[in-house]
Amino acid sequence: MIDIFFIMFTGVMAVYIIVRAALLDRVEPWYEVTPEEPISPTQPYPASADRGPGRHVAAGQNLAPRDVDTLKRPRTGG
Amino acid sequence: MRSLFVTFCYASFFIVGVVAPFALTLGYLWVDSFFPQALAYSIITDLRVSQIIGIAAFAGYFLLDRRDPPRVCLITVLLVLLAGWVTLSTFFWAVVPGPAVDRWNVVVKTLIFAAFIPYVIRSRVQIEAFLQIWLFGFAINFLPPGIKALISRPTYGHDLGIATTSLSNDARLAMIALMLVPIILFLRRHTKILPVNWLTSAMYLTIIVMAFGASYGTYERTAIIVAAVLAALTWLTSRRKVLFGVALAMLTLLGAYLTPTDWQERMTTITEYNQEASAARRIVVWEWTFNYALEHPLGGGFNLYYSNQLGGVNPDGSKGGLAYHNDFFEVLGEQGWPGLAIFLVLIATSVFYLRGAARRARRFPHLAWCRDLATALQMALVLQLTGGSFIAMGFHPPLYMIFALAISLREYVHRVEKASERATGAISGFAERGIASSAQLSG
């Protein structure tokens, strides 16, 4: 009985983890990017960086379109 | 019903793998630690489950998911080199060719897969998913014996686990269960996949208790040595050393009070290593292996110990072999000095990579999880090698999973560094252009 319970528990956890990881992998940034130096409030901001000074910047935000492209777009099939 | 459930779990990796190919690599890891073919009674028992999902993992990567490959690094080169070397030793100078080929078949897959993992496991979610699947895959080996040992009275040699799994109630089980403890503590603190709440925290702590329970239930002396090293390492890395030290002392006293006399008597034989038969036999086999390597510097191939005639008497009257009971002597005897050199450099490079990743991650406050993971993996490596000083697991997957994760973590930090530099450069560029245009307007 204990064995069955643990087979069920570990199996369900494994399935839950892969499903959740697959979902997160599609929505979460692959790399948690922040600029090394925090943005100073006195500096002018680009149009895309209007989230306030000193905020952490997730991948894909505050980057030039070329950088966003490199980070996010999957290259499939080699 | 049990077969149907296990088959469903196995199939889930393929279904999810269609949209997220890294799930197939996780599937291989799960099969390698959960042994679904051994737990089921039918349906997948006759399938080559490991081979099928292994091929699917490679195909998934090459056809669907080749973004951001890691740089070619020393660990990858060493893993491939070791795979080549064990192939040569197996097919050209193995002393016991048949058993050597059987073992090679398993080991070479472990080495190649370890070299492959960093290509697939790249992002934070993927690294965490790898750790979670590793934990919950292997947990089936130590959760049932853990709870049984805690609620009943175990005895030495009495198997409390699920009989069909490949790891019986021995020192290997104890060592891997305890090795996972630092990783469980890391997941408890930094999980993104599971919800962070008291229930998740309680689940992880319960798993840790079961890991200790299973180790206790084995009656193995290796387990108590690994547990002592684990306690020392956790104390060293803890922030509240006095409080943790007091808690540890109390737990030790409680353990001494609750454990049965025969368990304590067995543990005290550690100090009598020069009089104890098991310890004496280990020293004899280490001596034999060292002398063999002096005479045969290239080693004798896998399962060389079959030929040492230091073990018990076989049914046919001949003397059997005595296993090495040590990672380093295992590698030395079987793969010679070149194999041992590769093995040692692999360990040293992994530590170097993990320390480097932790150091570089210090520049980024949001990469605290990388520093903690680097520490957890170093602890796991030390625990592996501590246990590996008394049992031979030099070619078992857990060690190579740590090597693979060392690359994944190092590459993750490197990619964040590169992307952050680009982000900083882009912002500086915008700022400079903004200042220039402001100056023009005011001028």
- What is the three-state SS of B72-105? CCHHHHHHHHHHHHHHHHHHHCCCCHHHHHHHHH
> Are residue A39 and residue A10 in the same domain, yes or no?
no
What's the average model confidence in pLDDT over A44-49? 44
Cβ-Cβ contacts under 8 Å, B136 against chain A: 10, 13-14, 17
Give the span between the Cα atoms of B183 and B177, in whole angstroms. Answer: 10
Please compute Rg for chain B using Cα positions.
24
Selection from B188, B47, B65 nearest residue B116 by Cα = B65
pLDDT given at position B270: 74
pLDDT given at position A55: 44
Consecutive H or E run containing B305:
none
Mutate to test the interface with B, among A4, A26, A33, A62 (most CBs of B within 10 A): A33
Give the span between the Cα atoms of B125 and B193, in whole angstroms. Answer: 7
What's the average model confidence in pLDDT over B288-307? 94
> Are residue A9 and residue A39 in the same domain, yes or no?
no
**Those residues with Cβ within 8 angstroms of residue B43's Cβ, 6 or more apart along the chain or in another chain:** B3, B4, B6, B7
Give the span between the Cα atoms of B10 and B44, in whole angstroms. Answer: 9
Q: CA of B70, closest CA in chain A: separation in Å?
A: 14
Report the percentage of chain B scoring pLDDT > 90: 64
Cβ-Cβ contacts under 8 Å, B438 against chain A: 44
What's the average model confidence in pLDDT over B228-250? 93
Average pLDDT, chain A: 65
Scan residues 109-128 of B and list those with Cβ closer than 8 Å to A.
122-126, 128
User: Which ipTM value was assigned to this complex?
Assistant: 0.88
Note down the domain range covering A78.
Answer: 32-78
Q: How confident is the model at residue B429 (pLDDT cuts 50, 70, 90)?
A: confident
Contact, B353 vs B378, CB < 8 A? Answer: no
A7: amino acid identity, one letter = I
Give the span between the Cα atoms of B368 and B312, in whole angstroms. Answer: 52
pLDDT given at position A67: 46
Put simply, the answer to whether B193 touches A24 (Cβ < 8 Å) is yes
- With CA atoms as reference, the chain A residue closest to B16 would be A19
> Are residue A45 and residue A75 in the same domain, yes or no?
yes
B286 inside 8 A of chain A by CB: no
Give the span between the Cα atoms of B117 and B113, in whole angstroms. Answer: 6
Residue with the two structure tokens 């002398």: B291
Please compute Rg for chain A using Cα positions.
20
Q: How confident is the model at residue B41 (pLDDT cuts 50, 70, 90)?
A: confident
Q: Residues B24, B28, B33, B36: is their CA dihedral positive or negative?
A: positive
CA distances from B99 to B153, B301, B317, B319 (A): 38, 10, 20, 17
Q: How confident is the model at residue B21 (pLDDT cuts 50, 70, 90)?
A: very high
What's the average model confidence in pLDDT over B251-255? 89
DSSP B127-180: HHHHHHHHHHHHHHHHHHHHHHHHHS---TT---S-TTSSS-SSHHHHHHHHHT
Would you give the DSSP letter of residue B367? G
> Are residue A38 and residue A75 in the same domain, yes or no?
yes
What's the average model confidence in pLDDT over A28-33? 78
Count how many domains chain A has.
2
The pLDDT tens digits for B200-219 are 999 999 999 999 999 988 88
> Are residue A14 and residue A40 in the same domain, yes or no?
no
**Those residues with Cβ within 8 angstroms of residue B253's Cβ, 6 or more apart along the chain or in another chain:** none
Contact, B204 vs B188, CB < 8 A? Answer: yes
A69 inside 8 A of chain B by CB: no
Would you give the DSSP letter of residue A47? T
Q: How confident is the model at residue B422 (pLDDT cuts 50, 70, 90)?
A: confident
- The answer to whether residue A69 scores a pLDDT higher than 60 is no
Selection from B319, B33, B347, B20 nearest residue B193 by Cα = B20
pLDDT given at position B199: 95
Q: How confident is the model at residue B295 (pLDDT cuts 50, 70, 90)?
A: very high
Q: How confident is the model at residue A52 (pLDDT cuts 50, 70, 90)?
A: very low
Give the span between the Cα atoms of B108 and B87, in whole angstroms. Answer: 8
A63: amino acid identity, one letter = L
Q: How confident is the model at residue B433 (pLDDT cuts 50, 70, 90)?
A: confident
pLDDT given at position A60: 45
pLDDT given at position B320: 81
| A56-70, B56-70, B310-324: least confidently modelled range | A56-70
Q: How confident is the model at residue A56 (pLDDT cuts 50, 70, 90)?
A: very low
> Are residue A25 and residue A59 in the same domain, yes or no?
no
Give the span between the Cα atoms of B58 and B78, in whole angstroms. Answer: 20
Give 3-state DSSP helix, strand, coil % of chain B, rounded to 5.
75, 0, 25
A38 inside 8 A of chain B by CB: no
> Are residue A17 and residue A48 in the same domain, yes or no?
no
Cβ-Cβ contacts under 8 Å, A13 against chain B: 132, 136
- The answer to whether residue B93 scores a pLDDT higher than 80 is yes
> Are residue A67 and residue A43 in the same domain, yes or no?
yes
> Are residue A25 and residue A36 in the same domain, yes or no?
no
> Are residue A46 and residue A70 in the same domain, yes or no?
yes
Tokens coding B327: 């990672």
- The answer to whether residue B353 scores a pLDDT higher than 80 is yes
> Are residue A22 and residue A50 in the same domain, yes or no?
no
| Higher-scoring residue by pLDDT: B67, A19 | A19
Put simply, the answer to whether A62 touches B62 (Cβ < 8 Å) is no
Mutate to test the interface with B, among A1, A5, A15 (most CBs of B within 10 A): A15
- The answer to whether residue A64 scores a pLDDT higher than 70 is no
Contact, B219 vs B185, CB < 8 A? Answer: no
Q: CA of B371, closest CA in chain A: separation in Å?
A: 14
pLDDT given at position B258: 84
> Are residue A39 and residue A65 in the same domain, yes or no?
yes
Put simply, the answer to whether A11 touches B6 (Cβ < 8 Å) is yes
A72 inside 8 A of chain B by CB: no
Tokens coding B2: 């049990």
Scan residues 178-237 of B and list those with Cβ closer than 8 Å to A.
192-194
